[in-house]
């Protein structure tokens, strides 16, 4: 196994500290697009970008998608801001990475 494969989320060996930073940036970008005013970002452009982010995440190999979900969960647990914590927890459902549990 190469170092690049390990850093890409193979689940073996050391965790790349860059992954949580990048995962957080992805979530924060989508949150900004969700919450910005129409005069800040064109609404159609915001939707296209958010949908593209979801499309890319859904195309990740299962191991990488699972790692991304673990990183988001860990970030939510550690997040002191309640609003960001809630967004981190809702992000996988909103992007279609996990299905809503129905009772």
Q: pLDDT of 30-72, one tens digit each?
A: 999 999 999 999 999 999 999 999 999 999 999 999 999 999 9
pLDDT number for residue 25? 97
pLDDT mean over 98-102: 71
Is 7 within a domain? no
pLDDT at 3 over 90: no
pLDDT at 27 over 80: yes
Half-sphere exposure of 8 (CA within 13 A, CB side): 9
Non-local (6+) Cβ contacts of 73 within 8 A are 89
Number of domains the chain contains: 1
Distance separating alpha carbons of residues 7 and 55, to the nearest angstrom = 22
Can you give the three-state secondary structure of 13-43, one letter per residue?
CCCCCHHHHHHHHHHHHHHHHHHCCCCCCCH
Is 12 within a domain? no
pTM of the model: 0.78
Is 66 within a domain? yes
Q: Kindly report the number of other CB atoms within 10 A of residue 87's CB atom.
A: 20
The average confidence (pLDDT) of the chain is 87
pLDDT number for residue 38? 94
**Triad 9, 23, 50: Cα angle to 5°:** 120
Domain housing 26: 20-31+42-97
Is 92 within a domain? yes
Is 87 within a domain? yes
Is 93 within a domain? yes
Residue that wins the pLDDT comparison between 6 and 28: 28
């Amino acid at each position: 196994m190469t170092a690049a494969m390990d850093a890409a989320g193979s689940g073996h060996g050391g965790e790349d500290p860059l992954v949580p930073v990048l995962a957080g940036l992805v979530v924060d970008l989508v949150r900004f697009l969700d919450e910005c005013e129409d005069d800040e970002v064109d609404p159609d452009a915001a939707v296209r970008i958010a949908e593209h982010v979801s499309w890319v995440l859904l195309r990740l190999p299962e191991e990488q998608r699972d790692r991304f979900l673990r990183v988001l969960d860990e970030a939510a647990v550690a997040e002191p801001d309640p609003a960001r914590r809630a967004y981190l927890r809702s992000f996988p459902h909103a992007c279609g990475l996990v299905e809503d549990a129905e009772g």
